[in-house]
Amino acid sequence: MINAVLLAIIVMIVLSLLRLNVILSLFIGALTGGLSAGLGLDKTISTFTSGIVDGADIALSYALLGGFAALISYSGITDYFVAKIIDKLNQENTQKTRIFTKASIFIFLLILSCFSQNIIPIHIAFIPIVVPPLLSLFNELKIDRRLIAVILTFGLTWPYVLFPYGFGYIFHGIIKKGFDKAHYAIQFDDIWKAMVIPSLGFIVGLIIALFIYRKDRTYNDVSFTTKAPPEKLNPVLVTLTIAAILGTFIVQTLTGSMIFGALTGILIFFISFQYDWKEIDAELVEGMKIMAYIGMVMLVANGFASVMTETHQVETLVKSMVNMTHGSKSLTVIAMLIIGLLVTLGIGSSFATIPVIAAIFIPMGQAVDLSTMAIIAIIGTAGALGDAGSPASDSTLGPTAGLNMDGQHNHIYDTCVPTFLLFNIPLMVFGYIAAMIL
């Protein structure tokens, strides 16, 4: 009989690939897993519902950050710069200018997405601010949006895997906590050292993407906004926008809450009296709608994860794969990485995957004489696997939210499939190498 967790993940992925809505795919997958594990309909639904409640703060954070992002965009800053770039292209539409502009866009988005994880931890909230105004420029340059999705997902995942700052500090802290619960002493500083080799997989994937998606791809010019770019920037509004961003960053850092950080930025816009409240309220609601869908997916993903945990068949999945390896160090490492990939694909969060797998992987690693650094590398890699490519991951939902603003970017085939192939395969290879040589 097939493992309930494995069955649930397969059902969810297949339905997503068949273009069924991700929320419905997650719900049907959870229902399938719960029933096949013998939980019964009532228990499955109640567990799913309680899991949704646990993710309410995440959903509210994303909705508020989306509203805050919309208010920043409403100031016209991004539209202004995009219009200037397009004007320059129209004046100097040479091959050299186009190549330089493309390279500048790639570097800008790469740096911004990386900073959103460690330096200015706003996560995916910057995407609705920056990406939609750039779509017309992408169309003009015939940039393949799959490449943009890969660049953004790289910036949303690679920094927290390697660097212990911002969201990386949280990720590394979860790994440390997993070892503490298993009464296995490690140093916090050892984690980033163990993740250096696995993190190279992300870099390899990004380089391959730059080659694969280098060719032109044509999109239709679809108008999805009626707001014309300003002819010149208002210094007061620029100052206000900078103050709102700094206020959000400071409050979020001091309180550790994305909710209060976003509320601070929103309130600065309202109490400045530089805008008509009715107008910015409409913009706020519109921005919240964009991110609210991502929040909904994360809520349902929490419900899915709760059902998978309640089945108690993650442990069964691990034991069955260990039995298949017959104590081989090499095969055991591969099995651990595959389990991490499957669990994260289903849950949609590398942060939530670590507690599930750490308690199981530590004794598994000890049983085949893996070093401490090797076990850290496997757990970190296994947790990160699947975050890029999961239909329920905010690392893929965020890029899609920005790139599909005009309805020309498919979440599964233009974001999830490319990021899954380009990041998870190299990450698994480098994670295996790290486990075998550390």
- Closest to 341 in 3D by CA, of 302, 389, 375: 389
pTM across the whole model: 0.78
- Closest to 341 in 3D by CA, of 378, 300, 303, 394: 378
Give CA–CA dist 134/82, Å, rounded: 6
| Sole residue written with tokens 């997958």 | 29
Q: Give domain limits for the chain.
A: 57-169+197-297
Encode the chain (438 residues) as per-residue pLDDT tens digits.
Answer: 678 888 888 888 788 778 787 788 888 988 998 898 888 888 888 888 887 776 677 677 777 777 777 777 677 676 677 677 767 766 776 788 888 888 888 998 998 888 877 766 667 777 877 788 788 888 888 899 999 999 999 999 999 899 887 778 878 888 888 888 777 888 888 999 999 999 999 999 999 999 999 998 988 877 655 455 666 667 777 788 888 878 877 887 787 677 787 788 888 888 887 777 777 787 778 777 766 776 777 678 778 878 877 888 877 777 776 677 777 888 888 988 988 888 788 777 777 777 777 777 887 888 788 899 999 999 999 888 888 888 878 888 889 888 888 889 998 899 999 999 999 999 999 999 999 998
- Closest to 365 in 3D by CA, of 327, 422, 404: 327
- Closest to 289 in 3D by CA, of 56, 74, 59: 59
SS (H, E, C) 306-341: HHHHHCCCHHHHHHHHHHHHCCCHHHHHHHHHHHHH
Burial class (CB in 10 A: 0-12, 13-18, 19+), 329: middle
Give CA–CA dist 23/397, Å, rounded: 12
Give CA–CA dist 200/185, Å, rounded: 26
Q: Which two tokens stand for residue 221?
A: 């010019």
Asked if residues 129 and 71 have their Cβ atoms less than 8 Å apart, the reply is no
Angle (nearest 5°) at CA 261 between 82 and 293: 65
Output the pLDDT for position 230.
63
